[in-house]
Structure 1
Amino acid sequence: MTKYPNIFSPFKVKNMTIKNRIIMPPMGTNYAGQNGEINNDHIKYYEQRAKGGTGLIIVENAAVDFPLGSNGTTQLRIDHDSFIPALYRLTERLHKYGACVAMQINHSGASAVPERIGCQPVSASNIPSKTGGAIPRPLEKKEILDIVEKYGKAAKRVQTAGFDAVEIHAGHSYLICQFLSPIYNKRSDEFGGSLENRARFARMVIDSVRAAVGPTFPILLRISADELLEGGNTLEDTLKILEYLNDEVDIFDVSAGLNDSLQYQIDNMNLPDGWRSYMSKAVRDKFNKPTITTGNIRNPEIAEKILAEGQADLIGIGRGLIADPNWVSKVKNNQEDMIRKCISCNIGCAGHRIGLNRPIRCTVNPDTINEDAYKNKKVNKPTNVVVIGGGTAGLEAACTAAEVGCTTFLFEQKPYLGGLAKEISKLPDKNRISYLPDYLVKRAEKLKNLIIYTGTKADVKAIKNLKPDVIVNATGSKPLLPPIKGLLERIDKEGEKLYSIFGLLNNIDKFKFKNLEGKKIVVIGGGAVGLDVVEFFAERKAKVSIVEMLPMLGRDLDVITKLSMMNIIKENNVDVLTETTLVEVASDHFKVKKDDKEQNLYFDYGFVCLGMRPENSGLEELQEYFKDEAVEVINIGDSARTRKIIDGMGEGRDILLTLEKIGAM
């Protein structure tokens, strides 16, 4: 008997029976073809999640109107019958694993990008869907009726392609939401003004879809239950609006947020598991209809509790299923300790797709399409691999090498594994990052051909004795501390109040329990690490200043984290000094310079976070010693170039390419 009876109970609505309560909500991927057609890699991506036991997969939003309603560079389309055959191949494949499959249909409205669609976007009014976005033109009534009809035709295609249900997207700053929300809808006709009028377009779309698919085909409606912006719909407003939309909706998919509150739509790292389940409960209680809840749900205990307490009927795990498509099967088979949990970093998923128009990737999962297919290959001869460094890049390389049959040795100088990820996770708002090193250590412990030496510095002689075929240098990075007057002699020194990021982390408990209200904190460096320090102290009511040499803060941050950080800075009145250079360090102040003018910034505690630099001091010796041997020496992760965890993890998995290069695969 499973310890999660609610998670693994079936759920029936209309003519669809879902085998368990875990669903994959719709998330854009940029995996589709240039013309909006689904392709083989795209199908394989969804297949991995069906194979992993997911009960219902809601395929990402498909445009009902092209190009006007398209919001992505390679978004799926459902505006023409020609897309049905490939989509049928998708549903046919996923059904083989017992998964139910729905598709979300959508019109982007003002969220479309003019350069991509070749014309001005449309909306309820002339209000951009986000700050700085394109100004749309208001739709005329005839155009509204035409789009309503297109929704119905698209839903019929969904049904014809073998899907089990259809979801209408009425949230997240897309067209229907642009009619529902008072932020966007400034109309004075029958589609604007009162709640009933603002709900009219959505009501017509639902009726059009129902007429197209018939009475027994389930319809889901995704909503932003609370827009979490001043002047937007609150949860109470949405509950009133849904009185006009309840009929013919079978499941409410309860989300939150708009484009300008994106950190609540695509959850920021520091939001707790299941944080928005109170919203789905409110909808469920009022309308007595099934609801889906989402929101950083990583732990099965939380999912079970939400279901048991009647806060929702179905649990949406989105990025968590990108990170580990086998989440459901691992929970079912008592392998929870081996779940590769999403750390909510938003770098490879939202950061790639929204910020950079790239196909999605994942920090913790180096292959979102093929998953564990590499394990089916084995080395064709005895092969020894030595990995130096037990951070995330080194652990991924060591585990991957061992999983394909290499005898693998891992050296870590510290008494514990996890590297910088383990250290940064000591910050309370970054604690989810610890999921990754914790998972990698558990994965390593299960591999009998992986021998780990902690508290051990790797030297050439010891490595030579292991007869390596491949040596992986993954020794990480250290803080960048330039030769600024007064810096090196004071930072992290006894009796001083000047710290590097490691100085803070090594004293984190002291700072966590100290009364910091009103204390002057000055942070030098406006990159990711400096902003993490700002977040820590600003939330403790310190008086924080941040100094950055560039014109902007957080240049390399993903879109979600950057939006969240800028809100923290605004809400906590953080003093921001950009285009400002550190010139000298004293025990109680920094001397900085801007436009040839110098000033002193006095602090109770000062932090210098100017980035990280590679720590690879032993690499040259390794390369020199083994240059005449048949040994491949590679340098990966931050010891090659300081970047993000996602880059080191990818290079760790790429040990497979090195093994192929030496003819071992």
Structure 2
Amino acid sequence: MKNYPNIFEPLTVKRMTIKNRIVMPPIGTNLAGLDGKFNTEHIAYYVQRAKGGTGLITVENACLDFPLGTNGTTQLRIDNDQYIPGLYKLTEALHAYGACVSIQLNHAGASAYPGRLNGMQQVSSSNIPSKTGGSVPRSLTKDEIYAIVRKFGEAAGRAQRAEFDCVEIHAGHSYLLSQFLSPIYNKRTDEFGGSPENRARFARLVIDEVRSVVGPFFPIGLRFSADEFMEGGNTLEDTLRNLEYLSEGVDIFNVSAALNDTLQFQIDEMNLADGWRSYMAKAVREKFGKVTITSGNIRDPRVAEKILADGEADLIAMGRGLIADPNWVEKVEHGHEHLLRKCISCNIGCADHRIAKSEPIRCTINPDVVSEDAYKQKQVKHPMNVVVIGGGTAGLEAACTAAEVGCDVHLFESKDYLGGLAREIARLPDKNRINDFPDYLIERAKTLDNLHIATGTKADVKTIDALQPDIVVNATGAKPLLPPIKGLHEEMGRENSKVFSIFDLLGDMDRWNDMVGKNIAVIGGGAVGLDVVEFFVKRGAAKVSIVEMMPMLGKDLDLITRLSMMNMVKEYGVEVHTNTALTEIAADHFKLKHAGVDADMPFAGAEFDLPFDYGFVCLGMRADQSLWPDLLSYKRETGVEVVNIGDGKIARRIINGTKEGRDILTTIAKVDQAKDKYTPRAAND
């Protein structure tokens, strides 16, 4: 705590005193019931963050006008008194750990979730969709605007009765109040459109209504997009002017950014620095003198402390950071920073799961966002030996988990370092943040005396058998997929060849520093291919081309990364060939064939050559199962449990391997129970 005096200084706002400066901002979870009520799992999720020391927890946005105002597959509701008991149970549980609790009040407007509307048309300031390709909404009438204003007040009253310490009004991120504030959406010609004052009128009415209901001593927060990062949208300067009409009656400004079409600046993409948008909060704080919250990839406590010390903000919001590590505050307070499980901003389990797939919230690096460390309470009853083959993130998670429940664990890694493919990909400058995950796993492993790690050691069945294992975990990772394409195997790996894989790039990064004037061609428009493209366009390559067999690039990417990558492709003028197959590889060009479905493409239906100075073949990864057949034979001969996890099973994302690593608990429990049943009794029993 002494190293971070500003983080741990209490802050009083009206009658609410926050014990430290760390805030969990509202992030949807898809954990609520379909009826909009809290359930046991949902409350437990928030309790973990309160137990971990978070000062202020702002519950995810709650619907105050169902169904027109709803967003998300399942969303909390606060539009009726029947929701107060569940909300009260939440505040009661979080207050028990000393956390202050707020709730975000929101109307989705044109961003309303179509699946809950029963055929109703979304509403907005005007008939402008809230995102590219979105549904066209209808304009609200004046009577409807005033009715929604009253609903905001009623919802705030319910929050106060449920013993929340604060409410936050959502006026950003392409939701209804944002749709009135932003000139991109608001094309009205009445008193709710046109001038900045008119566009701010709806939000002004809402603030006044909420204040009239909750009284003078109850804190009110306002969240908004300080810079929309879109042509024709509000800039930071515009927002500072708009806030002149909204400041009165607001106690806390939650300074966020972006709209739906610039989502990568709201749910920050991986390559944005810790605290990158604190300059926005600083500008708001300096002008209005209000308590101000900033956010933006803040993972490092030193960055958080500096932002506070420099007066750029009063509170630090860490949404994804607290999903990844609910104990962030407690670890920093007690000097355990080396054990922080820092969010890597991959945006898969927290954003893509919820927004794109309508799945419940999950985390790539935290395999249990609800129960956290509860598994450690169930120690094995019998001695148990576990052998893990592979020291990537899946193997390390399995090894640590097994050791933490009392198993004796041996992990073998053939390379001389740990971290696997995650460590390799993190060599790319824009993916460097991924390093934080293997760093955490290694530090966690160091705390476990019953976990023995051998790097630079390739294990075989003989080595494994000598340890008399009860369980063997195969976590051997993946290697590049190299299909039988003419010329591929002849060119790749040949001395002085100009054809490479991703590992050739990662293995010698300095070789590629000066790319000015070079022509780069990349085969494969998935995650790996786009990473290679990003690397070279930012190093000044004269021309970069990408070829993809499917109709679109980045089909399987999470929505944030895809937005970021498509923006990069457009910004740098990357030449894109979709619906195009690689047919042959020559020394200095790829032979391609277009499928012929895009009639306006210059190469539609044709075969053509794509020349290059350097060509990269990035057709994905495949599981490395070189040891798996031997392990299956070993299982048949000995009866030892053998499990296959991570990319060694199927090449996928880190999130899959992390979850499967934690799932070793299921196998451990099975073996432990079997020992209960079949361990011979002593002769005198």
TM-score, with length taken from structure 2 = 0.96
TM superposition shift of 1:113: 2.9
- TM-superposed CA distance for 1:628, in Å, is 2.8
Alpha-carbon distance between aligned partners in 1 of 2:136 and 2:38, rounded to the nearest angstrom:
31
Q: Residue by residue, what CA displacement relative to the aligned partner does 1:392-435 show, whole Å, maximum 9, x if unpaired?
A: 10000000000000000000000011000000000000001111
Amino acid at match of 1:167: E
SS in 1 for 2:369: coil
Aligned residue for 1:602? 611
For residues 508 and 605 of structure 1, the distance between their equivalents in structure 2, rounded to whole angstroms, comes to 14
Give the match's secondary structure for 2:104. strand
Mean CA deviation greater in 120-129 or 107-116: 107-116
Match of 1:430 in 2: 431
Counterpart Cα distance in 2 of 1:468 and 1:452: 15
What are the residue-to-residue correspondences of 1:9-88 with 2, within 5 Å? 9-88=9-88
Alignment partner, residue 489 of structure 2 = 488
Contact 2:26–2:104 (8 Å) recurs in 1: yes
**8 Å contact from structure 2 (residues 73, 113) kept in 1:** no
- Compute the displacement of 1:664 (Å): 4.7
The alignment status of 1:295 with 2:296, answered yes or no, reads yes
The SS at the match of 1:627 is: helix
Deviation at 1:625, TM superposition (A): 2.4
Helix, strand or coil for the counterpart of 2:514?
coil
* SS in structure 2 at match of 1:76: coil
Q: What's the secondary structure of 2:444's corresponding residue?
A: helix
* DSSP-derived class of the 1:215 partner: coil
Q: Matched residues in 2 for 1:117 and 1:661: separation?
A: 46
Change (3 A) 1:9 1:492: farther
Q: Which amino acid aligns with 2:626?
A: S
Give the distance between the partners of 2:141 and 2:522, measured in 1 at CA: 52
One-letter code of the match for 2:658?
M
- The residue type equivalent to 1:504 in the other structure is L
Q: Separation in 1 of the partners of 2:339 and 2:661?
A: 19
Within-5 A mapping of 1:245-256: 245-256=246-257
Q: Which residue of 1 aligns with 2:552?
A: 552
**Any idea what the Cα deviations from partners look like across 1:190-248, whole Å, max 9, x if unmatched?**
00000000000000000000001000000000010000000000000000000000000
Matched, 1:102 2:111: no
Q: Verify: 1:374 aligned to 2:375, yes or no.
A: yes
User: What amino acid is aligned across from residue 610 of structure 1 in structure 2?
Assistant: L
| AA in 2 matched with 1:624 | S
Contact 1:343–1:433, Cα closer than 8 Å, also in 2: yes
Deviations 1:375-394 (A, max 9, x none): 00100100000000000100
State the AA in 1 paired with 2:13.
V
Bigger shift: 205-214 or 587-596?
A: 587-596
Find the counterpart in structure 2 of residue 648 from structure 1. 657
- Letter in structure 2 aligned against 1:473: N
Q: Report 1:313-328 matches (<5 A).
A: 313-328=314-329
Secondary structure of the structure 1 residue equivalent to 2:97: coil
User: Identity of paired residues, percent?
Assistant: 68
Once the two structures are superposed, what CA deviation does each residue of 1:466-493 show, in whole Å capped at 9, x if it has no partner? 0000000000010001111111122143
| Structure 1 unmatched ranges of 5 or more | none
1:190 corresponds to 2:199:
no
Deviation at 1:604, TM superposition (A): 1.2
Aligned-partner Cα distance in 1 for 2:567–2:493: 30
- SS in structure 1 at match of 2:157: helix
- Which residue in the other structure is 2:272 paired with? 271
TM-aligned CA deviation for residue 498 of structure 1 = 1.4
Aligned to 1:77, the other structure's residue is in SS state coil
Distance 1:618 1:263 in 2: 40
1:394 aligned partner? 395
Q: Which residue pairs with 1:509 in the alignment?
A: 510
SS in 2 for 1:295: coil
| Corresponding residue SS for 1:663 | helix
Between the aligned partners of 2:634 and 2:114, the Cα distance in structure 1 is 57
Aligned partners of 1:111 and 1:129 also within 8 Å: yes
Matched residues in 1 for 2:223 and 2:638: separation? 61
Aligned match of 2:636 in 604, 627, 651?
627
Kept in 1: contact 2:78–2:155 (CA 8 A): yes
The match for 1:161 is 162
What SS class does the counterpart of residue 488 from structure 2 fall into? coil
Note if contact 1:227-1:234 (Cα within 8 Å) is conserved in structure 2.
yes
- Name the aligned partner's letter for residue 121 of structure 1: Q
Residue 349 of structure 2 contacts residue 363 of structure 2 at CA under 8 Å; is this kept in 1? yes
Mapped contact 2:16–2:165 kept (Cα < 8 A): yes
2:342 maps to amino acid = K
Give the distance between the partners of 2:238 and 2:191, measured in 1 at CA: 19
State the 1:98 CA deviation. Answer: 0.6
1:596-653 CA-to-partner distances (Å, cap 9, x unmatched) read 5211111111100000011011111121123131310111111111111000000000
Matched position secondary structure for 2:672: coil
Q: Counterpart of 2:474?
A: 473
Equivalents in 2 of 1:350, 1:184: separation in Å? 24
Q: Given that residues 73 and 115 in structure 2 are in contact (C-alpha distance below 8 angstroms), is that contact kept between their aligned partners in structure 1?
A: no
Give the corresponding residue for 1:662: 671
Whole-angstrom distance in 2 between the partners of 1:654 and 1:185 = 49
| Residue 537, structure 1, aligned to residue 546, structure 2 | no
Contact residue 492 and residue 503 of structure 1 kept, 8 A: no
Q: Is the 8 Å Cα contact of residues 407 and 450 (structure 1) preserved in structure 2?
A: yes
Per-residue deviation, 1:109: 0.1
Deviations 1:17-62 (A, max 9, x none): 0000000000000000001101110100000000000000000000
Contact 1:273 1:302 survives alignment (8 Å): yes
Asked if the contact 2:634–2:640 (Cα under 8 Å) also holds between the matched residues in 1, the reply is no
Distance in 2 between the 1:173 and 1:517 partners?
40
C-alpha distance in 1, partners of 2:589/2:442?
A: 41
CA distance in structure 2 between the partners assigned to 1:541 and 1:206 by the alignment: 49
Using the alignment, how far apart are the partners of 1:139 and 1:597 within structure 2? 51
Q: Does 1:618 pair with 2:619? A: no
Question: Partners of 2:494 and 2:50 in 1: how far apart?
Answer: 54
Q: Provide the residue aligned with 2:146 in structure 1.
A: 145
**CA offset at residue 508 of structure 1?**
1.3
1:334-376 deviations in Å (ceiling 9; x for gaps) = 0000000000000001000011011110000000000000000
Matched, 1:362 2:363: yes
- 2:463 and 2:18 mapped to 1: Cα distance? 55
Whether the 8 Å contact between 2:62 and 2:77 is mirrored in structure 1 is yes
Aligned CA RMSD, in angstroms, stands at: 0.9
Runs of 4+ aligned structure 1 residues displaced above 3 Å come to none
**Cα distance, 1:497 vs. partner?**
1.9
TM-aligned CA deviation for residue 663 of structure 1: 2.9
| 1:129 equivalent in alignment to 2:130 | yes
Q: Deviations over 1:490-520 (max 9, x none)?
A: 2143311211011110011221xx2213311
Matched residue pairs, number? Answer: 663
Give the conservation status (yes or no) of the 8 Å contact 1:383–1:664. no
Structure 2 unaligned segments of length 5 or more: list them.
596-604, 675-685
Maintained 8 Å contact 1:381/1:664 = no
Where 2:189 maps in the other structure, the secondary structure is coil
Q: Is the 8 A contact 2:227 2:239 kept in 1?
A: yes
Which AA in structure 2 matches 1:296? N
Q: Quick check: 2:125–2:185 contact (8 Å CA) kept in 1?
A: yes
* Partner of residue 339, structure 1: 340
8 Å CA contact 2:293–2:313 kept in 1: the answer is yes
Once the two structures are superposed, residues 169-210 of structure 1 have per-residue CA deviations (whole angstroms, 9 ceiling, x without a partner) of 000000000000000000000000000000000000000000
1:493 and 1:245 mapped to 2: Cα distance?
Answer: 66
Following the alignment from structure 2 to structure 1, what is the Cα–Cα distance between the partners of residues 115 and 103? Answer: 27
* 1:261 maps to 2:270: no
Q: State the distance in 1 between where 2:72 and 2:623 align.
A: 36
Which residue pairs with 2:679 in the alignment? none
In the TM superposition, what whole-angstrom CA distance separates every residue of 1:277-332 from its partner, at most 9, and x where no partner exists? 00000000000111000000000000000000000000001100000000000000
